[in-house]
Amino acid sequence: MDIATIGGLLVALGSLIGFAYLEGSHMGALFNVPSLVLIIGGSLGVSLMSFSISTSIGIAKITKNAFFEKKMDLNKVIEQFVRFSEKARKEGILALESELENIEDPFLKKGIQLVTDGVDIQLTEEILEHDLHFVEERHHVGESFFSTMGGYSPTLGIIGTILGLVNALGRLDNPAEMGHAIASAFIATLYGVAFANVVFLPIGAKLKIRSQEEVLVRQAIIAGILSITAGDNPRITQEKLKVFLSPKKRAEIERAQTEGA
């Protein structure tokens, strides 16, 4: 589970509730079921209208990526390719076929399978790049879906407030009820803006970051596959893949190599 997503959401909601409490707001008055139905249901509904049914069905599966972190360690990927490179140079490319059953990542497994099948290096790169492109497209859909919800949510809140004010003005003959109705009307705007900026847009942003992280790892995998296919020695393979690391991680590897030497 991604502690940053869960913790950030709890801190944000806690800050909103804490602000309302410190301002002396009546906490019960802030909970409004009709406004909740309008914002969540309305935002979901108009977002579903903006996407195809097949895309919308897959949103739940994509959403979990914001709350559950998929560990993809670039250091381990580099170490794995250095080992593959050593084995390929000593025993030949076909020797990597024995590694397939131990590879869990389907993208990496596909790349090694292409290598052992003797597929041309340019065709291998083309196949993997196309695969990566469609992964990016699928991830972009999830990000766009929540960004769309975040865009519609405040507007729906305003619509809810207008409807609430219309209802309040219908009670001009009863001033006691009118004040409560006006206060309830503005809850819809509060919910609309709050859900957009505390839930929908942050989830969209997290999905975008998740996509960037996965794409970076897969780009490193493609570079590693091409390096092995080209017959590079392990040192060259490692140098090619180190460019995908942050300067800090790169310095750590170089320091470890120096100490080892």
Q: Write out pLDDT tens, residues 26-35.
A: 677 678 888 8
Residues ≥6 apart with Cβ < 8 Å to 47: 56, 145, 148, 149, 152
- Binned at pLDDT 50, 70 and 90, residue 3 comes out as confident
Residues ≥6 apart with Cβ < 8 Å to 34: 160, 188
Amino acid at 145: F
Q: Are 70 and 4 contained in the same domain?
A: no
Q: Are 39 and 21 contained in the same domain?
A: no
What is the tens place of the pLDDT at every residue in 234-251?
889 888 888 888 787 777
Counting the structural domains of the chain, the total is 2
Q: Are 8 and 49 contained in the same domain?
A: no
Query: What tokens were used for 72?
Result: 């993809």
- Binned at pLDDT 50, 70 and 90, residue 201 comes out as very high
Q: Are 50 and 23 contained in the same domain?
A: no
Q: Are 1 and 67 contained in the same domain?
A: no
Q: Are 192 and 37 in contact (CB under 8 A)?
A: no
**153 backbone dihedrals φ, ψ, rounded to 5°:** -55, -50
Q: Are 178 and 168 in contact (CB under 8 A)?
A: yes
Query: What tokens were used for 84?
Result: 């593959």
Q: Are 1 and 51 contained in the same domain?
A: no
d(CA 235, CA 178): 77
Global pTM? Answer: 0.79
Show the domain range for 24: 1-31
Q: Are 136 and 10 contained in the same domain?
A: no
